[in-house]
Amino acid sequence: MKEYTLKYGCNPHQKPARIFASDGELPIQVVNGQAGYINLLDALNAYQLVRELKEALHLPAAASFKHVSPAGAAVGLPLSETLRKMYFVEEEELSPLACAYARARGADRMCSFGDFIALSDECDESTARLIAAEVSDGVIAPGYTKEALEILKTKRKGAYTVIQIDESYRPPEMEIRTVYGITFEQRRNDCVITPELLSNVVTKNNTLPEEAKRDLTVALIALKYTQSNSVCYAMDGQTIGVGAGQQSRIHCTRLAGGKADLWRLRHHEKVLSLPFREGLSRPERDNAIEAYVSGESWRVTSPETWPLYFAKQPPEFSDEEKKAFLAAFEGVSLGSDAFFPFADNIERARESGVLYIAQPGGSVRDQEVIAKCDELGIAMCFTGLRLFHH
């Protein structure tokens, strides 16, 4: 197939719309449903991310994409009982690939609502069952087992978008795009990110455990496909907070840090034992949890509203309890797609448990940033590699 016609472009009034191959055939096949313009942008960016994660860390990988940035990305490490409960997969038998998707989806469940999914490996039945339980626009993978495809075809009354990509495909060295009638050309961002990139540690604390190298690799590869400016917090083989598309780096750090804090608060026993009302959907649970752990708990705990979400009124979760719980949060890794221009980013990152940082370096204030890391006991490496993505 050399060409695929789309329903419309970014918006319904942008017609006609299509994708096509200038040379040869398209490396993708839509095996179910109809892919849209934004779907395909998400799918192709997300698939590059998971393919590179697998190559770098030798584990199956998954990504949950929304509006051309990852809401979550992860490799297929086993889930603890706490994570199983957090991600609503307590009773599931999980393959390594399913573990990767459960982590990617669970990183930021609010932002993953209606995601486009990318899988590094053939989609198996275990992973398809997780996808079937979530609100999602579609999935891209190098293949699907017969059982998995049958499950996925039941979503959206048979209209769920399923894309298969040729995993041997490699794009041309040069990429081209048109903006306002003007053609841009550049070498595609084919930099290779592996743990070996993290050797230039510039702080007094020069210890990067293997787990930190893994998590920093996850963060940097995720940033390679995140709209800039961007910062990513990662832990336990998955992203836990992505701040994308902010004009100020401190706002990236705050946004991603706030998401990482919410992810951590979901570990609290009060959250894990919330008495949800029978029949409450997963999105409704996500909304209730988000309000309960954020500063808007009144939305779901007041006498007028708690019966909409819970079988009984949930216990108060005070700011003091939250602060104490977050204070014990340690071992988080953080990647940045460009240098930190001010030390305030380091202070904010440390508030969310960050002990390991990877960034390009190159700011006139590098020494101030290094000094702040030394003061706070953070190990930081300079990669020399900027990862802007637009």
Its sign, for the CA torsion 75, 81, 86, 90, is positive
* Cα–Cα dist 203/148, whole Å: 48
Distances (CA, A) of 87 to 59, 106, 160: 20, 5, 22
Q: Token digits for 1?
A: 């197939």
- Asked about 11 being catalytic, the answer comes back as no
Helices within the chain (DSSP H only): 37-57, 81-86, 96-106, 125-132, 146-152, 210-224, 249-265, 269-272, 282-293, 298-301, 306-309, 319-327, 344-351, 366-376
* Cα–Cα dist 315/76, whole Å: 34
First-to-last C-alpha distance (Å) of the chain: 28
* Cα–Cα dist 193/138, whole Å: 27
Q: Which of 285, 291, 286, 293 is nearest to 260 (CA)?
A: 293
Catalytic residue among 66, 259, 322, 372: 66
Peptide bond into 205 cis (omega under 30): no
Catalytic residue among 229, 287, 345, 372: 229
- Asked about 205 being catalytic, the answer comes back as no
Residues 112-142 as b/e (b if ≥16 CB within 10 A, e otherwise) read bbebbbbbbbbbbbbbbbbbeebebbbbbbb
- Asked about 67 being catalytic, the answer comes back as yes
DSSP state of 35: -
Q: How many CB atoms lie within 10 A of CB 58?
A: 8
* Cα–Cα dist 58/317, whole Å: 40
* Cα–Cα dist 346/232, whole Å: 13
Q: What is the number of alpha carbons within 13 Å of residue 371 lying toward its C-beta?
A: 6
Give backbone dihedrals phi and psi of 370, rounded to 5 degrees, phi first.
-60, -45
DSSP state of 220: H
- Asked about 200 being catalytic, the answer comes back as no
Q: Which residues are designated catalytic?
A: 66-67, 229, 390
